[in-house]
Structure formats: C-alpha cells, structure tokens
Structure 1
Amino acid sequence: MKHAAGLLAFVARFAVLGLALAFVIGLFWPGVGSRLRAHFGMPVAQPAAATAAAPEAPPAPASYADAVARAEPSVVNIYANKVVTEQAVRMYSDPLMQRLFGGHLVGTYQHPEQSLGSGVIVSDKGYVLTNNHVIANANDIQVLLYDGRVAKATLVGADPETDLAVLKINAGNLQPIRMADQKKLRVGDVVLAIGNPLGLNQTVTMGIISTIGRQLVSGSPEDFIQTDAAINLGNSGGALVNTRGELVGINTLLIGKAADAEGIGFAIPVNTATEVLKQLIATGHVVRGWLGADYAFVPVAADSGLPAAARGVQVTDVYPGSPAALAGIQPHDILLRMGTHGILDPADLRRYEASLKPGTTLEVSGLRNGSPFHVKVTLIARPAQASVSLQQGQS
C-alpha cells in the first residue's frame, strides 16, 4: 500500500513538473507544440474562427475643412431691401397727458429696412435657392458671392408653404452645390450649417441630424430635418451639408431660448427643396394635389379589426365640396391605400397626395365600420395654406 502511494506521489510530482515546463515553453516559444506535431505527422489543431463582430463605424475625421471647402463657394449672402410703412404716433408734450393717454395717430411714415439671409447656388445658370421670408416684399435684392462679387437678383418664384424662393443672378464662374442622397440620411449623421448669421458673413457650425421627417404644422405635407447645428438669424436659406460637402437641406427655422430651447433648428430636406426648385423655375409657383380631408393615426383597439401595428390613417374631417366629400369618404373611415401607394401614416399620405398633379384620378381603399370599401377620387389643387412660421424662430 505504501509502495503504491509512493509511486503515485512520484508520478504526480513529475506531472506537475511537466505542466510547469510546458507552460514556460509555451510562454517563451509560442507555437512550438504545433511545429512538433507537424514534424511528427500528427494533426494540428486549427484556431477557432473569430466571432463575427458588428461592423465598426469609420473614425470621425479630425477636420471637416474639405467638406466646407467644397460647399462654401456655393453659399451666398442675401441682402433684401424693402420699404416698410408704419403708423406715426404723436406724443403729448404735457407729461401728465402723456402718462394718461400715451399718444395719438397722425398718419403713416415709411422707412427702409434690410433683411439678412443666406442662399445656395444650385445651377451654373445663376439660380439661387433661399427662404421666402428672407426676400418677401423686397424691392431690391443683392447677393454677395463667396469671391466678393455683388450681383443684383430677381425673383423667379416663391412658395410660402415650404418657405422657399428661387432667385436669378447674372454672374459667371458660379459653383453649384452638389446634392446629397436624402435616402441615405440617418439620425446621428454629422452635418454642417453654412450661412450668414447676424451678418457675420460665411460662418460654419457643426452638429448632428437629430431627427428626420419632423412635422411642425398639423395638416401640412411638408416635413423637416431637425438638427442641433447652431442656426441663427441670418442663416435662413443657407446650406446644411454632410461631411462630403453635399446639400442635405436648406436651413429655415430655429427654436430659441424664448421657448426655453437650445440646439433645435430645422432645415427643409433636399428632396423637397429640389422638387420646389423645379416647379418654381418652370412655372413660378408650386401646385400640389389635394384630397380634401384631415387625418389622424389609426386608433388601435380590440374591436377595430386591425392588427396591433396598423398602418393607414383615420379620417377626422372632410371638407365640403372637396374630392373626398364628392367620393363619399366619411369621418372615421380608415384609409389604407391610395392608388398603388400603401399608406403608412398621416404624414405619409399628406406627402403623397401633395406629390400628385391636380386632375389625377385614382382609387382609395379602406375600411368603414370594419368592412372594406373602394372609391374613385379626382384630386384638385391644394388651396393656399399659411406658411410655416414659429414666432421665435425664422432664422
């Protein structure tokens, strides 16, 4: 028994010694075991395949100077001069009367006023895209180019609903901006705002896309890119570009500290701006299709007969005499399809109907009290709507 125990202890000591020796060899001469097995014709163990890692985003560049250099020559400063008529008030000379009655109107007077803004060169033929509120009611518009030249601009057309306007300047050697692919925009993408804030000339600020498809006015077909890139008064009509210097949107609105907000600005998406640009150059105005109803999200309830992730819209109101009213569409109807277009939500339907030409006839499909229905509608031109305006925020 003692002999067996001694033999076991002897084997154990040599085993421990062998493991320690193997550890030292493996530490200082890694791979020697594989080479010995290969030398004696023994199978060599293959390393386990590395677990597929999630693709890593490319590192952010140390500078965005290249993007600015590509885009900045396409951004211009706009100075819109107008004559403003205001009421003239005469104050009482007696301090007591002045305190009691203030003053009284004695007619009107006129004085010059200048609006500052920005614009983007979109064609080598001299077309400049800007905001409508920058040039509204102006009788003289001057454009300061990147290279210091000054050109007089004429108004080609304006669209108050999107707050876009197109100017035309007579100048050569212009550098049109490159347009981005809006479908590739993602929340979190870095963007740069270039413009003329507070008359400080070419200024660049940086931020990210905070959200896409932001709607600011119920019932409007237009949506916005929200960004935290600083947009200030004078940035209106300027460029929001990506890190390749391509136009992502036209800066137009901000929500300032008056609303206890910080880092909330809005830009008109490049696709919307491009479509408006084409129509304004072609006809001087923008025409949109209109169904003539107001919509809300589909209420999902146990008795709605709809899946939990229901798409479509619920009709909340129908305008008398509108295409929807003439087709028999009623409040509480659920609209699911318009022509071949599957309706996602209210914003999607507003954008789609606005993209169609007046006079277009198509079939609208939906549910009424849980039963399918199909009607033919012929769209008409969308009536003029009030332009998007935040009291604290046209930039």
Structure 2
Amino acid sequence: MPCAPFPIPPPGSASKNSAFSNRDDCSNRTSGSSSAPLGWGKGGERMRSLLIGIVGFLLGIGCWSYVGPVTGQSRTLPFTSDTIAQIAQIAIPAVVNIDTVMREINPFQNLFGTPYFTEKGVGSGFLIDASGLIVTNDHVVADTQSLTVTLTNGQRFTGRKVGHDPLSDVALIRIKGANLPTLRLGDSESLRVGDWAIAIGSPLGLQKSVTAGIVSALNREIAINERVNFIQTDAAINPGNSGGPLLNVAGEVIGVNNLIATRAQGIGFAIPSNLVRSIVDQLVSKGKIERPWMGIALTSLPSNEGVLVAGVSKGSPAAQAGLRPGDVITHLDGRTMQSPGQIVQYINGKSVGNRLEVRFLRNNEKKSTVLVLREMPVG
C-alpha cells in the first residue's frame, strides 16, 4: 500500500437496465478535444450520455444515477439559525473538487487521424488525513488517466488513486500535503429518520456548494448496489456531488453522496459512514478488501418468506455446505431473512472464516447446514 496507515476510530435481485453504467454517471464528465466528432461510435455515445448527465437504471419509481473513531452516539449540538452556516464554515475547507481526464481509443482514427478522444469530468471528495488522504466514489476516479484535486483555497494538487472498492463504490486518492483540514467520520448507526443532513460538494463543477435537508430513510436497498444499505436524504444532490460528504449537525461525515433518483426530486442516496470506515480501514491496512463470500445467486420471493437460491457456484462455500438451486433460505444464525439485500448485508458484517448456521426449505421440508465463509474470488 503506497500510503502509511493512519488511525481510524472503530465504529460504535432485481434486473438491471442495459443502459445503466456503473461509472461516471453523475461525476459530471464531459468530452474533450482530440476526439472523433460527438455522437460517432462508442465514444460518441458515451460523450452524448455524459453531456446529458443521465445514464439511468429503471427501478419501479424511476431512474437512478450516480452523483457523485466515533464510539457510541455522535455528538449533538443545539440547532439554531446559524448551525448550518457554522458547519459549512468549518467543513468546506476539507471538501475538495476532483477534475478527471479519461482517454479512450478512437474507433475511427483511420478516417479522422486522431488516435484517441478524451473525456473530462468533475466530482467531489473530502480529506480524512492531514497529510492528504481523500475519500471519494470509485466511479469518479475509475479508469482515469489524470486527477487534479483543488482545495477551497485554490491550491491544486496532482492526485493519485491508492485504493478502491468498486462493489461499495468507495475509493481513496492521495495528494502530497501537510497540515490539511480534515473531516471526522461519524457514526451512521446512530442516525434517525428526520435528522438534519448537509451535503457539500461541486455539483456541475460549482465548488463549495452547500445544501441541507433531512435523513429521509435508512437502510434503503437499491438493486444497483445491494452491497450498500443507503441513507436516503432530500438534501439536494446533483451531478458533481459524487464523493462529497453528507454531514450531521455536529459537522461529522455520516455518508458519502452517491446516487440520485433522476425522475424525482429530493431523493438522493449516500453510502453510510460506518461502511466507508470499514472499507477505508481495510484499504489502508491491507491494500485490498477481504470480502466474505457464500457463492450463491439469490432472488426475492413474492411472499417475502425467505430468499430463493437461484444458483450455486461450483466448489463454493454454499456448494460445500450442500445448498442447491431451488432451496429457500429462511434464517442465517437464527435471524429471519426476507430479501437478497438482507442476506448480503448480513454477510458483509461477517469475516472470512466465520461459520454460519443456514436454515432453509427444500421441497417445503425444513433443513439446516453450516457454511464457512471464504474470501470472494477476484473477477
């Protein structure tokens, strides 16, 4: 791992639309020069969709797009008419603007003489270490050739990606700095529906933008990413907010802004800070994420009375435990399971090598087995 560890406090299947892209949707990317004309070929299609700013995922009510140690309860402060302004004044210096450049092969280079085209984008991030470690979304920095990080005082740095986890959409980048302002990761488990939420970032490249709202819901499961139980907020989030912080009234980061519902207003989603802390801790200490794995494909049942096993990977922990396609998992370690997301979240909280008691139905007959989690294979 290129960066030295720093202290991190411990914490207190739906189908996808083929038009959806897991990258850059709301990191506000636009296309640059030395490229094929806009609208031609694969690159042109990507550029057009990025300029529109919406590459969606259809899920019931509409379209989803990427946007871009506390122990125990978080500190609570009296809320006054000055609270949001005070938090903004303290937090804004630790929020950064991230400009990105991608280079793609031009499929029409023989006709137009330009070997590649470029895409420029913008996203947000925030400093968690005074020497220059920054948290952002993986889709902001994935597949980029260059990263330019701008602080709110105008200082510009070349950024370097030092770790990422595409499955949770969290990434770390580093700049060379000293005595930089930082933000503290709060305890997302202490959140309540109705708590104040403050978003800071660079929507549409407009740096130092602050919006406020409330926590609208907790533990939202979205088929785009069933590995995250999202915080839903009505604080305004727009393309370019990706990777920026969602704060509580104590000025602590409670989430990383990530998704918006593009066919609605006031529906945004953030990755909870406790999950972010876990990902960052592993990336810093190990350089990778050791994610526990069962080796099964899951699908929901209309009755919510268990989760259907749609497939079992050969040689996987599930296969070794005797699970088969068609089984219905009803309990893990005695806890009732009613959705694929619920199982994924429970497994995410476990470690490689942990043993699970799995209770399931096979042809309406109750059965149980013990499954030993292994590390998820790469790829």
TM-score (normalizing by structure 1): 0.68
Q: Establish whether residue 165 from structure 1 lines up as the match of residue 185 from structure 2.
A: no
1:149-188 equivalences in 2 (<5 Å)? 149-188=155-194
Deviation at 1:371, TM superposition (A): 4.8
User: Closer, same or farther in 2 for the Cα pair 1:299/1:262, shift >3 Å?
Assistant: closer
> CA-to-partner distance for each residue in 1:343-384, whole Å, 9 max, x for gaps?
443323211213333343343234445554331222233356
Q: Does the CA-based 8 Å contact 1:191-1:229 persist in structure 2?
A: yes
Q: Does the CA-based 8 Å contact 2:79-2:249 persist in structure 1?
A: no
Identical amino acids, percent of aligned pairs: 36
Deviation at 1:108, TM superposition (A): 5.4
1:32-71 equivalences in 2 (<5 Å)? 61-63=80-82, 64-71=84-91
* Residue matched to 2:99: 79
Segments of structure 2 that go 5 or more residues without pairing to the other structure are 1-76
* Residue matched to 1:13: none
1:124-163 equivalences in 2 (<5 Å)? 124-163=130-169
Q: Does the CA-based 8 Å contact 1:126-1:168 persist in structure 2?
A: yes
Q: Establish whether residue 338 from structure 1 lines up as the match of residue 325 from structure 2.
A: no
Secondary structure at 1:71 match in 2: helix
Q: Provide the rounded CA distance (Å) in 1 between the counterparts of 2:143 and 2:300.
A: 38
Deviation at 1:267, TM superposition (A): 1.0
Secondary structure at 1:224 match in 2: strand
Note the aligned Cα RMSD (angstroms).
2.7
Deviation at 1:279, TM superposition (A): 1.5
Q: Does the CA-based 8 Å contact 1:359-1:378 persist in structure 2?
A: yes
Deviation at 1:297, TM superposition (A): 5.4
User: Closer, same or farther in 2 for the Cα pair 1:86/1:263, shift >3 Å?
Assistant: farther
Q: Does the CA-based 8 Å contact 2:189-2:274 persist in structure 1?
A: no
Q: Provide the rounded CA distance (Å) in 1 between the counterparts of 2:101 and 2:225.
A: 33
Q: Establish whether residue 277 from structure 1 lines up as the match of residue 280 from structure 2.
A: yes
Code of the aligned partner of 2:168: T
Q: How many residues align?
A: 300
> CA-to-partner distance for each residue in 1:212-267, whole Å, 9 max, x for gaps?
111222783222112121111111110111122110111112222xxx32222111
User: Closer, same or farther in 2 for the Cα pair 1:314/1:133, shift >3 Å?
Assistant: closer
Secondary structure at 2:96 match in 1: strand
Deviation at 1:71, TM superposition (A): 1.9
Q: Does the CA-based 8 Å contact 1:179-1:270 persist in structure 2?
A: yes
Deviation at 1:77, TM superposition (A): 0.9
Deviation at 1:60, TM superposition (A): 5.4
Secondary structure at 1:235 match in 2: coil
1:172-321 equivalences in 2 (<5 Å)? 172-217=178-223, 220-256=226-262, 260-296=263-299, 313-321=306-314
Q: Provide the rounded CA distance (Å) in 2 between the counterparts of 1:383 and 1:219.
A: 18
Secondary structure at 1:122 match in 2: strand
> CA-to-partner distance for each residue in 1:167-209, whole Å, 9 max, x for gaps?
1111111222122221221222221110011111110011222
Code of the aligned partner of 1:75: V
Code of the aligned partner of 1:249: G
User: Closer, same or farther in 2 for the Cα pair 1:110/1:314, shift >3 Å?
Assistant: closer
* Residue matched to 1:122: 128
Code of the aligned partner of 2:354: T
Q: Does the CA-based 8 Å contact 1:248-1:269 persist in structure 2?
A: yes
Q: Establish whether residue 350 from structure 1 lines up as the match of residue 369 from structure 2.
A: no
Q: Does the CA-based 8 Å contact 1:318-1:325 persist in structure 2?
A: no
> CA-to-partner distance for each residue in 1:14-56, whole Å, 9 max, x for gaps?
xxxxxxxxxxxxxxxxxxxxxxxxxxxxxxxxxxxxxxxxxxx
Q: Does the CA-based 8 Å contact 1:296-1:313 persist in structure 2?
A: no
TM-score (normalizing by structure 2): 0.71
> CA-to-partner distance for each residue in 1:63-95, whole Å, 9 max, x for gaps?
3112222322221111122323323389xxxxx
Deviation at 1:325, TM superposition (A): 2.3
Code of the aligned partner of 1:348: Q
Q: Does the CA-based 8 Å contact 2:330-2:338 persist in structure 1?
A: no
Higher Rg: 1
Greater shift, 76-85 or 246-255, is seen at: 76-85
Q: Provide the rounded CA distance (Å) in 1 between the counterparts of 2:309 and 2:224.
A: 12
Q: Provide the rounded CA distance (Å) in 1 between the counterparts of 2:356 and 2:190.
A: 30
Q: Does the CA-based 8 Å contact 2:296-2:313 persist in structure 1?
A: no
Q: Does the CA-based 8 Å contact 2:96-2:201 persist in structure 1?
A: yes
* Residue matched to 1:324: 318
Q: Provide the rounded CA distance (Å) in 1 between the counterparts of 2:342 and 2:269.
A: 19
Q: Provide the rounded CA distance (Å) in 1 between the counterparts of 2:308 and 2:293.
A: 14
Which structure's residues are more often helix, by fraction?
1
Secondary structure at 2:148 match in 1: strand
Q: Establish whether residue 376 from structure 1 lines up as the match of residue 370 from structure 2.
A: yes
Code of the aligned partner of 2:102: K
User: Closer, same or farther in 2 for the Cα pair 1:295/1:236, shift >3 Å?
Assistant: same
Q: Provide the rounded CA distance (Å) in 2 between the counterparts of 1:335 and 1:82.
A: 43
